[in-house]
């Protein structure tokens, strides 16, 4: 079957807008008053659900030097008085639950994210990573990532993280262009960013991954091309290319609405920027590991991110951390003071608990496949009532140049990868699983 849309048209207009991935779809909230009892019961079901046997750990460090305009993750300023005691409490929270939570499968990926884990002191970074290794059963080749940004990530902190056992750094670069950076509140200049990354890479003691964003204000096509070329020339192990999501409530959303900042790339241009990224990286010989992630060689595996999309059990700790065990998904209190009070009082820090419906494993299977550029609907196509509708949808996707053929087992095209959350949404809608 020949597609009716060419790639560029598909990238621009296969759908009117990109769907966000709603991780809570298919989950039902547990009433506040029952959280503690249901949580204790959930612990007894550890490792008994359809989730994959391999696990991850997520540690949230909710502090940042400042609020970058585009970011919806910001919670607390990295000030000494706010951060004091955080690591002690975090370790206490882990210790309290380590016994119950360490039953079941081995941990294959640990992620210290935020916020900015590198806002912690060197000793604190070392303590957190050491505590994780002491308390949980990690696989010998466990990926242990620390997410960080250039500012305040000192040599001493890099060494402490490595000594603690970190084997992967994910650095938020966003753009190398000083003007684009400054406009978003990223204070280091291009020169400072390059110096930092060169020195980190020269150590050659851990995997290094850069996050790049496209679609930021002032980031023209030329700037984006230069961002890609600069990143590739530095030869890191991995690169992420994220399309700017304009979240309501962020300072950037407000500034654009008020007219004080010109918006970046238009919706149509974003698809083109994505294609520029994929083509530059592919031409340079990089592997396309997941829709927004590329590896320059075998050192980078992107374990954590892929496992999350595949629905792995995740033990989450820290104020604002999320996790998933058995049929449940949970959130720890994102209000730092409330979280601290609960840790000190030895009471539960879980502020939200939800239970998945019976379709979670199918949803996770589809999400995991699409994230890695493929789709195999053979098992769900056996469900007679939706067979015809799904077949029609696959025909439509193939016509729009989103998948390579209308068979139940197929691959995503470049445009399909860009629109993967829309493809997911439409399939789940037919399956009545959203």
Ligand X SMILES: C[S@@+](CC[C@H](N)C(=O)[O-])C[C@H]1O[C@@H](n2cnc3c(N)ncnc32)[C@H](O)[C@@H]1O
Residue 117 engages ligand SF4 in binding (rule: CB under 6 A): no
Q: In 3D, which of 346, 328, 340, 382 has the Cα closest to residue 48?
A: 328
DSSP string, 310-341: TT-EEEEESTT-EEEETTEEEEE--SHHHHHH
Nearer to ligand X, 41 or 245 (CB): 245
Q: Quick one: DSSP state of residue 412?
A: B
Which of ligand SF4, ligand X, none does residue 157 bind (CB under 5 to 8 Å by kind)?
none
Segment contacting ligand X (CB under 6 A): 83-91, 135-143, 244-252, 293-301? 244-252
Instruction: List the end-to-end C-alpha distance of the chain, in Å, as a whole number.
Output: 29
Contact 160, 125 (CB under 8 A): yes
Residue 283 near residue 298, CB atoms below 8 Å? no
The conformational region for residue 38 under phi > 0 = left, psi -120 to 50 = alpha, else beta, is alpha
Question: Closest CB to ligand SF4 among 15 and 73?
Answer: 73
Nearer to ligand X, 104 or 113 (CB): 113
Residues 6+ apart with CB under 8 A from 97: 315, 317
For ligand X, the binding residue among 211, 272, 300, 371 (CB under 6 A) is 211
In whole angstroms, give the CA distance from residue 144 to residue 106.
14
Find the binder of ligand SF4 among 172, 277, 318, 416 (CB under 6 A). Answer: 172
CA-CA distances (angstroms) from residue 425 to 341, 369, 432? 39, 14, 10
Footprint (CB under 6 A) of ligand SF4, residues 120-159: 149
Specify the residue, 174 or 422, whose C-beta has the smaller distance to ligand X.
174
**Total residues at the site for ligand SF4 (CB under 6 A)?**
11
Using CB under 6 A, which of the segments 6-14, 31-39, 111-119, 370-378 binds ligand X?
A: 111-119
Q: Does 118 bind ligand SF4 (CB under 6 A)?
A: no
- Select from 121, 114, 103, 122 the least CA-distant residue to 162: 122
Interface residue with ligand X, options 23, 73, 226, 411 (CB under 6 A): 73
* DSSP reduced 3-state for 210: strand
* Residue 82 structure tokens: 């706010």
64-83 residues in contact with ligand SF4 (CB under 6 A) are 64, 67-68, 71, 73-74
320 touches ligand SF4 by CB under 6 A? no
Please pick, from the candidates 11, 71, 110, 144, the single residue that binds ligand X as defined by CB under 6 A: 71
- From start to end of 221-336, where are the E strands? 238-243, 287-290, 293-295, 313-317, 322-325, 328-332
Closest CB to ligand SF4 among residues 157, 393: 157
- Does position 143 bind ligand X by CB under 6 A? no
Beta strands 168-174 and 138-148 are parallel
Among ligand X, ligand SF4, none, what does residue 67 contact (CB within 5–8 Å per kind)? Answer: ligand SF4
Say whether residue 213 binds ligand X (CB under 6 A).
yes
Binding site for ligand X (CB under 6 A): 70-73, 113-114, 116, 147, 149, 172, 174, 211, 213, 242, 244-245, 247
Binding site for ligand SF4 (CB under 6 A): 64, 67-68, 71, 73-74, 114-116, 149, 172
């Amino acid at each position: 079957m020949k597609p009716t849309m060419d790639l560029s048209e598909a990238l621009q207009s296969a759908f009117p807008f990109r769907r966000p991935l709603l991780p809570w779809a298919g989950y039902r909230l547990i009433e506040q008053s029952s959280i503690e009892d249901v949580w204790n019961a959930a612990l007894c079901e550890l490792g008994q659900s359809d989730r994959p046997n391999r696990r991850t750990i997520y540690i949230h460090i909710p502090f940042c030097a400042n609020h970058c305009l585009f970011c919806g993750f910001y919670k607390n300023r990295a000030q000494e008085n706010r951060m004091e005691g955080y690591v002690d409490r975090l370790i206490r929270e882990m210790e309290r639950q380590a016994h119950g939570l360490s039953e079941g499968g081995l941990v294959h990926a640990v992620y210290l994210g935020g916020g900015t884990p590198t806002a912690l002191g060197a000793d604190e970074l070392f303590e957190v990573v050491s505590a994780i290794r002491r308390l949980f059963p990690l696989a010998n080749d466990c990926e242990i990532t620390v997410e960080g940004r250039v500012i305040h990530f000192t040599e001493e902190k890099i060494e402490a993280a490595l000594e603690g056992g970190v084997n992967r750094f994910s650095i938020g670069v966003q753009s190398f262009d000083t003007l684009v950076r400054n406009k978003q509140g990223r204070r280091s200049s291009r020169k400072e960013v390059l110096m930092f990354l060169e020195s980190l890479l020269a150590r050659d003691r851990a995997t290094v991954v850069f996050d790049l964003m496209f679609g930021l204000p002032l980031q023209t096509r030329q700037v984006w091309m230069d961002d890609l070329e600069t990143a590739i020339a530095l030869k890191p192990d991995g690169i992420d290319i994220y399309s700017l999501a304009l979240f309501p409530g962020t300072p950037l959303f407000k500034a654009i609405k008020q007219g004080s900042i010109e918006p970046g790339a238009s919706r149509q241009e974003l698809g083109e920027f994505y294609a520029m990224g994929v083509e530059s990286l592919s031409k340079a010989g990089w592997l396309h590991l997941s829709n927004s992630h590329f590896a320059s060689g075998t050192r980078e595996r992107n374990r954590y991110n892929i496992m999350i999309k595949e629905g792995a059990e995740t033990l989450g700790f820290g104020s604002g951390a999320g996790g998933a065990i058995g049929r449940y998904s949970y959130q720890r209190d994102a209000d730092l003071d409330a979280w601290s009070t609960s840790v000190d009082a030895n009471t539960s820090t879980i502020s939200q608990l939800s239970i998945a419906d019976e379709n979670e494993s199918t949803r996770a299977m589809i999400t995991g496949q699409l994230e890695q550029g493929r789709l195999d609907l053979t098992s769900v196509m056996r469900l007679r009532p939706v067979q015809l509708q799904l077949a029609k949808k696959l025909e439509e996707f193939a016509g729009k140049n989103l998948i390579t053929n209308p068979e139940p087992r197929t691959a995503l095209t470049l445009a399909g990868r860009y629109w993967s959350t829309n493809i997911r949404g439409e399939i789940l809608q037919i399956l009545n699983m959203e």
